[in-house]
Amino acid sequence: MPGRERDIVRRLAHAFNAAGQELYLVGGIVRDLLLDRGRSDLDFTTSATPEQTKLAGGAASPDATFAIGEQFGTIGFVFQQPGEPDIVVEITTYRSETYPTPDRRPEVSH
């Protein structure tokens, strides 16, 4: 993992640990690391609620915070560095989904 991404992962891990929350790297970045592929976005899952995620993630000093799908438990952070591409991080609260009818929209619980 490139140094800049590694630094962000460490900062987030320390912030969530200090908040007493679990944080796991998931998604395409895990595959890309295993296959030694290039850069990917950073996706995490956590035991923190969206509000707790905003607080813990904020402690990692992102340049911006945004709600991607807060009703689904997802909060986003942007880390910027002059002359470098932005690194976007999405952190989603553990959740379960049920589909009470044949519909594309699940009922989500955190």
HSE (CB half, 13 Å, CA atoms) of 53?
29
Instruction: Using a pLDDT cut of 70, give the percent of the chain over it.
Output: 85
The CA distance from 41 to 62, in Å, is: 15
Angle at 103 between CA 75 and CA 53, to 5 degrees: 10
pTM of structure: 0.83
Residue numbers of the domain that contains 9: 3-109
Q: Distance of CA 22 to CAs 32, 43, 70, 84, 109, Å?
A: 22, 14, 18, 29, 18
- pLDDT 10s digits, 43-93: 999 999 999 999 999 999 999 999 888 788 999 999 999 999 999 999 999
- What is the average pLDDT value for the chain, to the nearest integer? 88
The type of residue at 41 is D
Specify the CATH number for the domain of residue 71.
3.30.460.10
> Domain total for the chain?
1
Which amino acid belongs to residue 109? S
